[in-house]
Structure 1
């Protein structure tokens, strides 16, 4: 037996992404709490929206995940600008963020109302 969201690639990828952000956020002093909450919110909203929700409601929660991902990207910019992370690490996580966003949007667009 498993939860519906555990099978979703977007949920699995957002979980992996959260672990990567957790590891780099140890160096980010003031942004630690914010970036960790935002990155965790991506997977949390995917799972919450997938359980016992109508399709429009699930789409709404996927929208929350996308917004949280945008918040993570802003924190990454702040981290790079403050020299908490390297340009290389920023580019790696920025690219992963962009791919994940497109996957979530693509998934959301495939859902039938």
Structure 2
């Protein structure tokens, strides 16, 4: 088992909270988007804390870094999907920018944490 306790990682907690924000936001999406953007956003948001947790269980920091990269990739996927949601008027520009701002903070923190792993 890895040396990191994922429950103690701020990036894991913040990304879990972000996941809840995404679920709440997508409740207002049109029903015909249930299998489109709603599903995409929810799956990608769940992927961030899940990859952090899974990576923390790996034997080496090199493996952990790979899972942190997956988490960051999911974050960028969400950023694009939020912009598309805004383009389609499913969310306001203000909500989009607010969520992207939080997401960018999570990306920054995850990248910084990743750089501390030898």
Identify which of 52, 69, 84 aligns with 2:75. Answer: 69
Superposition deviation, residue 42 in structure 1:
0.3
Q: Match of 2:110, SS? A: helix
- TM-score, length of structure 2 as denominator length: 0.90
- Which residue in the other structure is 1:22 paired with? 23
Identify which of 93, 96, 103 aligns with 2:99. Answer: 93
Q: What is the distance in 2 between the residues matched to 1:53 and 1:67? A: 22
- Which residue in the other structure is 2:10 paired with? 9
Unaligned runs of 5+ in 2: none
- Which residue in the other structure is 1:108 paired with? 114
After TM superposition, the runs of 4+ consecutive aligned structure 1 residues lying more than 4 A away are: none
Superposition deviation, residue 53 in structure 1:
2.7
- Which residue in the other structure is 2:48 paired with? 42
- TM-score, length of structure 1 as denominator length: 0.94
Aligned residues: 110
Unaligned runs of 5+ in 1: none
Superposition deviation, residue 26 in structure 1:
1.5
Q: What is the distance in 1 between the residues matched to 2:55 and 2:38? A: 26
Q: What is the distance in 2 between the residues matched to 1:55 and 1:33? A: 31
Q: Indicate the RMSD between aligned Cα atoms, in angstroms.
A: 1.1
